Amino acid sequence: MHFVDIIDKKKRGLQLSEDEIKEWIKGYVDGVYPDYQVSSLLMAILLKGMDEEETFNLTKAMMESGDIIDLSEIQGIKVDKHSTGGVGDKTTLSLMPMVASCGVKVAKMSGRGLGHTGGTLDKLESIPGFSISMSEEEFVNQVNNIGIAIIGQTANLVPADKKIYALRDVTATVDSIPLIASSIMSKKLASGTDVIVLDVKYGDGAFMPTLEKAEELSYEMIKIGKNYGKKVAACISGMDQPLGNAVGNALEVKEAIDTLKGKGPKDFTELCLATGAVILEQAGVTDRENGYKMMEESIADGSALEVLRKLIKAQGGDERIVDDETLLPQAPYITKLKSNKDGYVSELPAKAIGILAMNLGAGRETLEDEVDPSVGIVLNKKVGDRVEAGDVLAYIHHSKPLTQEWMNRFAQVIKLVPEAFEVAPVIEKIID
Ligand code: URA
């Protein structure tokens, strides 16, 4: 088989066979096919698409390129959720303790942040002492003992995705639905849980620009998961503004803890309650309506917070941060950004705010960059809120002096309008 023939076939919009896809993935992981040929194929896929069968075969070939985790030693229903990525997205930190406190088992592998989006591992590592690595046996034991473990992906989990994703990043081939669906689902399927709930974002700070595209991606991922006999659902939500108020690692951990104490931002709390209800429904615990009530109860009675405390302790972290958030890394400076006029906040663009936080040191531009866990932005106003001149729009937590250029950029991205308007619901659609 000549690789150039595979590229040519896709260039003409024809269907690739299972064998051709397997050959491509195996050959690329083994170093037989060079980056320039695979780049060309990726661009042909981005432009011509893939049908359902091809996307399924691609997911399968990628999943089989490395380890497939065996969670059969864990008693009970194992659940996972995956966010397609965003700004201020600390959902795993609050939601997973909430569902674990309702009896399902959380065996979760998370990733790091890149560019304007954050990653759960960086947030967890801002907790002093917290370790994100353990052996497979320790992972299984911890989930059996306390109902939850969150670790980094093992080195050999879907190696094909590691190589292909890095190439997509530098060849403008990230935003292709079959490529995103196979990338995400190959990792979720290799991670071995019974239930996968997808938290699919669209809008300014997300991979999917519109609700329609987010729906298309969701259907694609659900079909792949169901083909493997998994329970899969998707919750679609907007990412035009950051989720919650905090953007930055330790600041987001604090917000996640506040949420488990019933003091979280409205939008973030609602996302956790609604997504948790879908997880409990998919796991066969209860129906969605009752699941929502169970989620509320897990906050009200403190049981979800207890699970977070146990998780931190089990993974070597300082669990006292749950009661004393000043034990989290603190930035030496806090500067206020104030409004110079009255109005209603109409735009808080997630991507721009994610980049501003990254510039402070909260995120990384390249995989090699170090993050500063203490820095970031805490929004004091969200889209739709009334603002008077002189009100604080945001608190900036920083460890180096802020430049005027940075402050101007921040001030310019926040837009106000004179009239009040209706704000869209947090979760726009649930698909299962
Ligand atoms: N997240 C992934 O894991 N893969 C993609 O392709 C896009 C988002």
Looking from the CA of 241 toward its CB, the CA atoms found within 13 Å total 25
CA dihedral 273, 274, 277, 278 (to 10 degrees): -150
Residue 73 lies in a domain: no
Closest by CA to 382, choosing from 411, 358, 348, is 348
Q: Are residues 390 and 248 in the same domain?
A: no
Residues 156 and 246 in one domain: yes
Give the β-pairing of 78-83 and 105-110. Answer: parallel
CATH code of the domain covering residue 34: 1.20.970.10
Shared-domain flag, residues 42 and 100: no
The answer to whether residues 22 and 91 belong to one domain is: no
**Is residue 289 located within the same domain as residue 271?**
yes
How far apart CA 312 and CA 256 sit, in angstroms, is 13
DSSP-derived secondary structure letter, 171: T
Residue 400 domain flag? yes
Q: Which residues contact 159 (CB under 8 A, 6 or more apart)?
A: 29, 65, 66
Q: Which of 112, 164, 165 to mutate to test the pocket of ligand 1 (most atoms within 8 A of CB)?
A: 165
| Averaged pLDDT in 10-residue chunks for the chain of 432 residues | 95 98 97 97 98 97 95 95 92 98 95 82 96 93 97 90 90 92 96 95 90 97 96 96 97 98 98 98 97 98 98 98 97 98 97 95 85 97 98 98 97 98 94 95
pLDDT value at position 115?
76
Q: Is residue 392 domain-shared with residue 283, that is, in the same domain?
A: no
Number of structural domains (the chain) is 3
- Same structural domain for residues 258 and 374? no
- Residues 333 and 304 occupy one common structural domain: no
Contacts by 174-177, CB closer than 8 A, 24 or more apart: 174/207, 175/46, 175/207, 176/42, 176/45, 176/46, 176/49, 177/49, 177/213, 177/216, 177/217, 177/220
Q: Which residues are marked as active site?
A: 82, 161, 168, 183, 187
What's the confidence (pLDDT) of residue 232?
97
Ligand 1 center to 326 CA (angstroms): 34
Is the shortest distance between the CB of 191 and ligand 1 below 6 Å? no
Pick from 43, 23, 44, 42: nearest CA to 33 = 23
**Residues of the domain holding 366:** 329-417
Specify the CATH number for the domain of residue 383: 3.90.1170.30
The answer to whether the Cα torsion of 299, 261, 188, 233 is positive or negative is positive
Are 227 and 374 members of one domain?
no
Whether 190 and 314 share a structural domain: yes
Please give the C-alpha separations between residue 219 and each of 18, 46, 84, 373, 432, in angstroms, as whole numbers. Answer: 21, 18, 14, 36, 8
On whether residue 68 sits in a domain, the answer given is: no
Q: What is the pTM for the complete model shown?
A: 0.94
CATH of the domain at 125: 3.40.1030.10
The pLDDT, as a whole number, for residue 154 is 84
Does 114 lie in the same domain as 25?
Answer: no
- 124 and 194 part of one domain: yes
Q: Is residue 101 part of a domain?
A: yes
